[in-house]
Amino acid sequence: MPERTPDPARELSDLTLLAQLVHRGQLDRAAAEELVAEMRRSGRRLLDVAVATGRFTRTRVDFLRAVEGEDVPELPGYDVLDLAGRGGTAVVVHARDKKSGRDVAVKVLRRELEADEKIKRSFLREAKLLIGLRHENIVAGEKVGQFQGRLIFLMEYVPGRSLQDLLKEGRTFGEDESLYIILQVARALHYLSQNGVVHRDVKPANVLLTPKNEVKLIDLGFAQSIGDTAPAATSGETTVGTVAYISPEQARGESDLDVRADIYSLGATLYQLVVGELPFAGQDNQEVLAAQILASLSSEVLKSRRISPHMHYFIEKMMAKEREVRYQSPTELIADIEQQIRGKKTLEFNPDGDDPGLRKPFGDEPPEKGRSPFKRRPRR
Shared domain for 251 and 139, answered yes or no, is no
Would you call 201 a catalytic residue per the annotation? Answer: yes
What are the two backbone dihedrals, phi and then psi, of residue 156, each rounded to the nearest 5 degrees?
-60, 135
Shared domain for 22 and 121, answered yes or no, is no
Q: What is the per-residue pLDDT for 290?
A: 79
Q: What is the per-residue pLDDT for 81?
A: 93
Q: Is residue 2 in a domain? A: no
Shared domain for 135 and 273, answered yes or no, is no
User: Is 240 within 8 Å of 148 (Cβ atoms)?
Assistant: no
What are the two backbone dihedrals, phi and then psi, of residue 111, each rounded to the nearest 5 degrees?
-60, -40
Number of domains forming the structure of the chain: 3
Shared domain for 253 and 339, answered yes or no, is yes
Total residue count of the chain as it appears in this document: 380
Could you say which of 201, 219, 262, 336 is catalytic? 201
Q: What is the per-residue pLDDT for 195?
A: 95
Q: Which domain holds residue 50?
A: 8-65
Residues 6+ apart with CB under 8 A from 220: 125, 126, 129, 130, 197, 199
Q: What is the per-residue pLDDT for 349?
A: 40
Shared domain for 189 and 123, answered yes or no, is no
Q: What residue ranges of the chain have pLDDT lower than 70?
A: 1-12, 227-240, 282-283, 294, 296, 298-305, 344-380
Q: Is residue 355 in a domain? A: no
Q: What is the per-residue pLDDT for 342?
A: 83
Q: What is the per-residue pLDDT for 303?
A: 63
Q: What is the per-residue pLDDT for 240?
A: 62
Q: What is the per-residue pLDDT for 183?
A: 97
Shared domain for 131 and 262, answered yes or no, is no
> Does the pTM exceed 0.75?
yes
Q: Is residue 360 in a domain? A: no
Residue 115 belongs to a domain with what CATH number?
A: 3.30.200.20
Q: What is the per-residue pLDDT for 281?
A: 72
Q: What is the per-residue pLDDT for 44?
A: 83
Helix axes 175-194, 259-275, angle to 10 degrees: 170
What SS3 string covers 310-359? HHHHHHHHHCCCCCCCCCCCHHHHHHHHHHHHHHHHCCCCCCCCCCCCCC
Q: Is residue 172 in a domain? A: yes
CA distance 145 to 14: 31
Shared domain for 38 and 144, answered yes or no, is no
> Which of 102, 136, 156 is the endpoint of a domain?
156
Residue 259 belongs to a domain with what CATH number?
A: 1.10.510.10
